[in-house]
Amino acid sequence: MYFGACYYPEQWPEERWETDARLMQQARFNAVRMAEFAWTRLEPSEGQYDLSWLDRAIDLMDRYGIRTILGTPTAGPPKWLMDLHPDIYQQDIYGRRKGFGARRHYCFNNSTFHTYTKRIVTQMAERYGSDSRVIGWQIDNEFGMIDTARCYCDSCLNAFKAWLQQKYGTIDAVNEAWGTIFSSQTFRSWDEVHLPAYAVHQHHNPGLALDFRRFSSDSVCAYQKLQIDIIRANAIKSQPITHNEMGKYNHIDFYELSKELDLSSLDIYPNMKSEPKDRPSYAAEQHDMTRGFKGGRNYWVLEHQSGAPGALTMAPTPVPGEIRRWTYQSVARGADAIVYFRWRTLPYSIEELWHGILQHHGDPGRKYEEVKRIGQELEKLAPLLTGTTVKPKVALIRSYDNDWAFELQPHMQGYEYIKHIEAYYAYFYERGIPVDILSPEADFTKYSLLITPNLMMAKESTVTALHRYVANGGCWVADFRTGAKEWNNQMTQKRLPGPYRELLGIDVEDYGVIEAHEEIGIHDLSTGATYRSSQWYESIELLPLGSPAQPMAVYTSGYYKDTPAVTRRAFQKGHAFYIGTVLEKQGLYAILDQIVDEAGVTSLIPNLPAGVEAVARVDADGGGREVLFLINHTAVEAVVSLSDSWSDALSDQQLKGPLVLNPQDVKVLHQPKTIPMLFG
């Protein structure tokens, strides 16, 4: 387990470094992240490299038992470089060059920038690739953030054409895939291909627009690969390569980005102005997504909130105990490194309000003391956690292609793909049922329950895998718009739900939007309860099959009144469920309760009190160890009822029955039977 902070020696007088190292050591740090924005100090002018200050910083930290995760500095190309080669700047949809003054101002497809990138990365990789004081590499920093994943310059146009040639072979195939006959948009040659830049309105051909998103994401992956290759050629085995990814954002396909990485990483700021502070499932979901980027494997947190975030105005400061409970949430969900952002709050520049562990003055205060306590606790917990991971029985599929397709055309007012995923996620979070969030291409055979929210398009291989999954005994939940589109983003011409009609045993006879003023409901046939549905309906006919689908709920109004809204079908050894409308929370939860039951999935803690999070890490290789984390995210006491006997890993007390969790408090419990295996 790594524990530490982001440290920027280039921003502080060298006389101060040792004080910082000493304080870090006292807080049980064993890692710092450095250098990811230090290009101008590493190469002050073209070809003049100076890594001596970084040598001294790495060395000093090592003397205090702290190892270094090195960031390549490419997210901040220096001014001299941009002045020499202004064509490196990204261009926006209006063809305007984005200028200097922020960060991430380079185009991923610019070959001049590739040359400079290779040079600086080679310098670092050759210097530190065999240095065991360096324990890992972060490539660049938060690819795609602040709207930088897509660029509209000539380098990108040329690269886009090459990407299309590779994918489609001929221009006629492009015309066909996109349906360019509409509005005379047909291309006669590759020369005529354009980017979805500024047009009369921004509603470009959906095929073109989706391919451009895919291409842009691939461009980031290719740029990352260029750096990975250099580092991998130089790095020793103990230096994994990672990137600080961004959970729920969709500007890049993070499954693809993670393929070449040794492990995925996350930057997590639970208290942001944009996110409700009382929704800890928001942060939990980011963790589960990051674990899923590599198919359900542990990851690092390379930026962990430790103070109030803010650029121009500030988000809430973490109250006492809050850094601790967010840190435990991270560890509980599979983080094997916690690196706080940042060690000390900077007194200048655009992040002077973005607070770290130490305030501007640099003296240890209450946040430092809290971090120190966490450091001591994690030191004690490390042997218990080593070799454990989260192993859910439920998988939730999140697809970037579908996310992008819905972003381009949401189909209904107020719809957001990611919010729809969140609605399912919230159910499992609140019920204390662990979930993996996976790519549609992941191996989901080992899960008892699989949910594919709005899987509007899918590759053939996914369609086949879903059929096999259900046939072999899995419970699959599909919902509205499933199968409605082909992979090229055209509407399917098959009857809906496309390739899953037989499997689900249904025909979506008609569909449409539900307007805000309409009163549409569903009647749950098992409980008799009625729930509101909104935004979208699909009226369903049950196919006359040998073992037909059964209705679970029917509509209470609309011209489709009494037709099935939710169905289930037994198919070979498994079950396939279909939800044809957007259900209000209680309705969705009631339906999911029935499905979860059917799938034999249970909560870690039945009747989990609101605001209490329950997650477990278990032996990755199938041993019997189970470490249960209970986190009280509320400002009031909560009582959890333990049916088994557990050991409190921090106090070593034996616990059973009602367990009181103080406000903001955390309990880490493990089964007594696991002790001999751990230490013996």
Q: Which residues are catalytic?
A: 142, 303
The candidate with the shortest Cα–Cα distance to 281, out of 431, 96, 162, is: 431
Determine, following the binding rule CB under 6 A, whether residue 62 of this chain makes contact with ligand GAL: no
Using the 8-state DSSP alphabet, how is residue 660 labeled? E
Among 131, 140, 142, 285, binds ligand GAL (CB under 6 A): 142
CB closer to ligand GAL out of 106 and 429? 106
* Total residues in contact with ligand GAL, by rule CB under 6 A: 8
Determine, following the binding rule CB under 6 A, whether residue 245 of this chain makes contact with ligand GAL: no
Q: Tell me the CA distances in angstroms from 505 to 19, 497, 545, one per residue in order.
A: 68, 10, 7
Determine, following the binding rule CB under 6 A, whether residue 143 of this chain makes contact with ligand GAL: no
Minimum CB–partner distance for residue 433 and ligand GAL (Å) = 31
The candidate with the shortest Cα–Cα distance to 76, out of 10, 31, 155, is: 10
Among 131, 211, 267, 665, binds ligand GAL (CB under 6 A): 267
Minimum CB–partner distance for residue 281 and ligand GAL (Å) = 21
The candidate with the shortest Cα–Cα distance to 343, out of 35, 33, 18, is: 33
Minimum CB–partner distance for residue 76 and ligand GAL (Å) = 9
Are 330 and 287 spatial neighbours (Cβ–Cβ below 8 Å)? yes
Among 141, 217, 265, 286, binds ligand GAL (CB under 6 A): 141
**Tokens standing for 600?**
């034999």
Candidates 140-148, 451-459, 523-531, 643-651 — which segment interacts with ligand GAL by CB under 6 A? 140-148
Compute the distance between CA of residue 111 and CA of residue 114 in angstroms, rounded to an integer.
5
> Which residues are 532's β-sheet partners?
521
Minimum CB–partner distance for residue 288 and ligand GAL (Å) = 20
Determine, following the binding rule CB under 6 A, whether residue 341 of this chain makes contact with ligand GAL: yes
Minimum CB–partner distance for residue 453 and ligand GAL (Å) = 27
CB closer to ligand GAL out of 28 and 304? 304
Candidates 137-145, 258-266, 488-496, 499-507 — which segment interacts with ligand GAL by CB under 6 A? 137-145
Cα three-residue angle 33-260-464, rounded to 5 degrees: 135
Torsion-angle region of 358 (φ positive above 0: left; ψ -120 to 50: alpha; else: beta) = beta
CB closer to ligand GAL out of 314 and 659? 314
CB closer to ligand GAL out of 146 and 635? 146
**Which amino acid appears at position 347 of this protein?**
P
Determine, following the binding rule CB under 6 A, whether residue 262 of this chain makes contact with ligand GAL: no
Candidates 138-146, 247-255, 318-326, 555-563 — which segment interacts with ligand GAL by CB under 6 A? 138-146
Minimum CB–partner distance for residue 294 and ligand GAL (Å) = 20
DSSP 1-26: -EEEEE--GGGS-HHHHHHHHHHHHH
Which contiguous run of DSSP H or E holds residue 125? Answer: helix 111-128
Compute the distance between CA of residue 335 and CA of residue 286 in angstroms, rounded to an integer.
11
**Tokens standing for 238?**
């103990």
Determine, following the binding rule CB under 6 A, whether residue 354 of this chain makes contact with ligand GAL: yes
CB closer to ligand GAL out of 33 and 670? 33
CB closer to ligand GAL out of 244 and 327? 244
CB closer to ligand GAL out of 345 and 674? 345
Compute the distance between CA of residue 202 and CA of residue 196 in angstroms, rounded to an integer.
8
CA torsion angle 550 555 560 562 (round to 10): 60
Determine, following the binding rule CB under 6 A, whether residue 305 of this chain makes contact with ligand GAL: no
Q: Within 10 A of 642 (CB to CB), how many other CB atoms are there?
A: 16
Determine, following the binding rule CB under 6 A, whether residue 303 of this chain makes contact with ligand GAL: yes
Candidates 89-97, 139-147, 283-291, 314-322 — which segment interacts with ligand GAL by CB under 6 A? 139-147
Determine, following the binding rule CB under 6 A, whether residue 140 of this chain makes contact with ligand GAL: no
**Tokens standing for 410?**
């949401």
Minimum CB–partner distance for residue 486 and ligand GAL (Å) = 36
What track of x and - describes contact with ligand GAL for positions 421 through 460 (by CB under 6 A)?
----------------------------------------
Collapsing DSSP states into helix, strand and coil, what is residue 245?
strand
Minimum CB–partner distance for residue 100 and ligand GAL (Å) = 17
Residues in CB range of 392: below 8 A, 6 or more apart: 296, 433, 434, 435, 436, 447
Compute the distance between CA of residue 444 and CA of residue 450 in angstroms, rounded to an integer.
7
Binding residues (CB under 6 A) for ligand GAL: these are 141-142, 145, 267, 303, 341, 351, 354
